[in-house]
Chains A and B, each alone.
Chain A
Amino acid sequence: MMEQDAFGKCHPAVNFLFFVGAIGFGVLIQHPVYLAAGALCAGIYYMLLHGAQGWKRILQLLPLFVLLTLINPLFNIQGERVLFDVFGRPYTLEALIYGADVAGIFVVMLLWFGCYNRILTGDKFTSLFGNWIPAISLLLVMVFRMVPGLMGKSKQIAAARRSVGKGVGTSTRQKLDAGMAVLSALISWALEGSVVTGDSMRARGYGTAKRTSFQLYRMTVRDGLLLATMMFLGASVIGVAVMGGMGAEFTPRLQIAPVSGWSVLGLAAYCLFLLIPTAMHCKEALQWSISKLKI
């Protein structure tokens, strides 16, 4: 299992709610200022989690951003300021700006999912939903355990085939045949094993009583406070959005609500919400370096 950072050590409910909020708001709010704030927060946390490789992956997203930006006006011909004609259709400035906005939303979402995959690992998901969907959580846990096992077994089968002179071969056809033979042997081996496992589970009393589960994660006071803070900030963002502080129309005419006066509160709440994991990460790193200095 990967080393978790300060935010990753929180209760899975905190992690899950944060990503629901971050990704949900990120996809729904089109306002460019909010988008920029989201991109900044997502980028910072992504780099904190992925270290030196993070830079490279973020740079790899840039061509995608440019491509999506340029493609969008081809399919959205509304707008007032025509830049030039493509195939007899107008290519407008408004549609280009809209395209950049949509592409930005997509990239920010990819970044948040990159963080999600680091933080919300399989064990956290099953411990979060284990009480609501016990059979399906058990299924997932079994799959997580079986996949590495089956991959190992398929290597074992291939090695056994090599030792009797049935190596992989060089042509595509030979590789395909060898692969199919391995897959076929793998499935019969795994199926026979599954029946034994199932009977063993039944013999030990699976399904005779309600399943209890070992909880690795406990709700602490800190987790409760975090949940309350996140809900308060999220509600503030929704409130400002309902009052129209985040309205943004791009085509046919640019109509973007100004971020001033009371609607600054919405932006502040949004940024505070998104910076929660970064703040926790940095606080832990700072504490660690201070306590190292004391030695």
Chain B
Amino acid sequence: MKKSHMASILTFLLLVPATLYLGTRLPGRSYYITSTLIIIELMIPFFLAYEGRRPQARELVLIAVMAAAAIASRVAIPLPHFKPVFAVIILSGVVFGPEAGFMVGAITAFASNFFYGQGSFTPWQMMAFGAGGMLAGFVFQKKGLPRKPWIIAAFGFLTVVLWIGPLLDCSHIFLIMSKISWEAVLAVLLAGFYANISQAICTVITLLLFGKPILEKLDRVRIKYGMTN
């Protein structure tokens, strides 16, 4: 069996249950540490699988470029608070497949925090962006949904509002609430709702205006240089 497969099985069967067990045994509010550890442990198999299959130089540079473009995209658009970051991640997932989508998302989150500051949310953001990019890759596969800009935009809106935003809010719930109750969760989610909606609207605008030309360009580069995924 391949080393990376072994690592995934060990993670799911041993590491995660062990963390959960220890987490329940710890006194006080240990849920932040427990949940963050589990998030990190869930990402390990993805990264190990990527390392294990020894990616080609072209794939590496491609992912690095898309992640760097996602980070730099904030500067390219002369509007304050307009972040097209997630739109770029979705588009790379759509064109280059689920694995590239995950890597672009996770690396974007991690690397951008070296510029804007790491925090308690870093692993959560990596997971949220990575899984979002991967989902885009699965949904818009060859046999999946058609790659129309408005469908991708609708997908982008739903992922930001239902997955990325709530996941990041969760990391805050675990840190700032002394007692977890449904009301507390609801309050934090509502407080984050405005920010999540504005983030989702940025994503939708970017995908609608920019989806078609960039899809064509990405596909052209992919076909021109024979990068079939």
Q: Find B58's partner among A30, A172, A199 (CB 8 Å cutoff).
A: A199
CB of A76 within 8 A of CB of B179, answer yes
Tell yes or no: B6 within 8 A of A by CB: no
Contact status of A177 and B209, CB under 8 A, knowing A102-B29, A182-B77, A202-B58:
yes
Which of B33, B69, B210, B217 has its CB near the most chain A CB atoms (within 10 A)? B69
CB of A180 within 8 A of CB of B72, answer no
Q: Which of A39-47, A190-198, A267-275, A278-286 lies at the interface with chain B?
A: A190-198
Residues of B within 8 A of A182 (CB): 76-77
Contact status of A146 and B65, CB under 8 A, knowing A72-B177, A78-B179, A140-B111:
yes
Residues of A within 8 A of B176 (CB): 68, 71-72, 102-103, 106
B203 → A minimal CB distance (Å): 13
CB of B61 within 8 A of CB of A142, answer yes
Q: Find A191's partner among B30, B47, B217 (CB 8 Å cutoff).
A: B217
Tell yes or no: B103 within 8 A of A by CB: yes
CB of A194 within 8 A of CB of B65, answer yes
CB of B175 within 8 A of CB of A138, answer no
CB of A139 within 8 A of CB of B209, answer no
Residues of B within 8 A of A109 (CB): 120, 175
Taken together as a complex, chains A and B put the C-alpha atoms of A80 and B55 apart, in Å, by 60
Q: Which of A3-11, A215-223, A245-253 lies at the interface with chain B?
A: A245-253
Residues of A within 8 A of B110 (CB): 140
A144 → B minimal CB distance (Å): 7
Residues of B within 8 A of A206 (CB): 57
B54-92 contacts to A, CB under 8 A, are: 54-65, 67-69, 71-73, 75-79, 82, 84, 88
CB of B78 within 8 A of CB of A175, answer yes
Q: Find A28's partner among B33, B65, B79, B205 (CB 8 Å cutoff).
A: B33
A134 → B minimal CB distance (Å): 7
CB of B69 within 8 A of CB of A187, answer yes
Residues of A within 8 A of B117 (CB): 113-114, 117
A197 → B minimal CB distance (Å): 5
Q: Which of B12-20, B152-160, B181-189 lies at the interface with chain A?
A: B181-189
Tell yes or no: B206 within 8 A of A by CB: yes
Considering the complex, give the chain A residue whose CB is closest to the CB of B64: A142
Considering the complex, give the chain A residue whose CB is closest to the CB of B44: A133
Residues of A within 8 A of B78 (CB): 158, 168, 175, 178-179
Residues of B within 8 A of A72 (CB): 176-179
Residues of A within 8 A of B177 (CB): 72, 75-76, 102
Taken together as a complex, chains A and B put the C-alpha atoms of A24 and B26 apart, in Å, by 13
B177 → A minimal CB distance (Å): 6
Tell yes or no: A263 within 8 A of B by CB: no
CB of B111 within 8 A of CB of A75, answer no
Residues of B within 8 A of A135 (CB): 50-51, 54-55, 60
Considering the complex, give the chain A residue whose CB is closest to the CB of B87: A183
Known pairs A98-B179, A158-B78 / 19 extra A-B pairs, C-beta < 8 Å: A74-B187, A101-B178, A102-B176, A102-B178, A103-B176, A109-B175, A113-B120, A136-B51, A140-B110, A143-B111, A158-B76, A187-B88, A187-B217, A192-B221, A197-B61, A198-B60, A199-B58, A201-B61, A202-B56
Can you report 8 residue pairs joining A to B where beta carbons are below 8 Å apart? A27-B175, A76-B181, A136-B47, A150-B71, A177-B209, A179-B78, A207-B54, A251-B178
User: B residues within 8 Å of A by Cβ?
Assistant: 26-30, 32-33, 47, 50-51, 54-65, 67-69, 71-73, 75-79, 82, 84, 88, 103, 107, 110-111, 114-115, 117-120, 175-179, 181, 183-184, 187, 205-206, 209-210, 213-214, 217-218, 221, 225
User: A residues within 8 Å of B by Cβ?
Assistant: 24, 27-30, 68, 71-72, 74-76, 78, 95, 98-99, 101-103, 105-106, 109-110, 113-114, 116-117, 120-122, 125, 133-136, 138-140, 142-144, 146-147, 149-151, 154-155, 158, 168, 172, 175-180, 182-184, 186-188, 190-195, 197-199, 201-202, 206-207, 247-251
Closest 7 CB pairs of A and B: A179-B77, A198-B58, A146-B68, A142-B64, A201-B57, A150-B72, A75-B184
